[in-house]
Structure 1
């Protein structure tokens, strides 16, 4: 995939990765609109329900299965970093080579993060780091994180902050109404 062009600056994919490779969403309809746009523009959108994970092992197995990691995948963070790094480099697994890029979507991530804060941070950090590395080679990888908690705050990952999407940047925009 070629790098973005100056004409891309108004496109959702460009805006999502301008400041961070991991972006928060509170309203499901905004997330759904965004993922629909990305899907229509050739991205491989891989969605996972983080609320279903009750352990670090569930998280690692779930992502590994969704991205078709090889049989030798060890279901630990080092193995995830290795295999996701391969996916970001467009290995023989995890992403359709014809796709515009990969969008990893975690729904209800706040549920998992509340129960397993360290694992939640580590997985996002690995994803962000590999997404940044992929961008250096003109490959597009991003992570969209849905939270039912509009006040969630996550530590920076991949040496970059996790930011709210444009429509929900202000606290007022995330007040239940």
Structure 2
């Protein structure tokens, strides 16, 4: 549930709005490597620009019209038809990443943003925390524990130092997200 440094930015010449994520200089190439791995997808925000400075890296992504978390909170919950339509877009983004050997790890509604003002189209914002699978892409075994406790799978909370399936953990997080969209609260309380 760590909050990354994210800002709204505007190109002064074109008035185009962007989302700017500020990353530390150290390790930024590894954090952005997933963008090189995946092809363009309508439900994944693509890099618009990367600006490297002395201490930080500024990653520019398309501007957006709010995130799924804020939308669900404002509506209390979504009806099945709307939730199904939006969830299909979330699933499409995650499936595309998985097919290209990218495990997302920290999936939650806040990571999906609306790309249109009518809030009908969603895109995954940021691949910074993802893990790239190497070699046999069928082996998605991970050992790190990363993600928001409300959305991570039980194996991340109870499995000690043993490996878990990264893709399965992402799918669990999607299931919790869908439940939250439909019911308006987490399925499990601390």
Which TM-score applies when normalising by structure 1?
Answer: 0.29
Q: Higher strand share goes to which structure?
A: 2
Q: Higher helix share goes to which structure?
A: 1
Q: Which has the larger radius of gyration?
A: 2
Which TM-score applies when normalising by structure 2?
Answer: 0.28
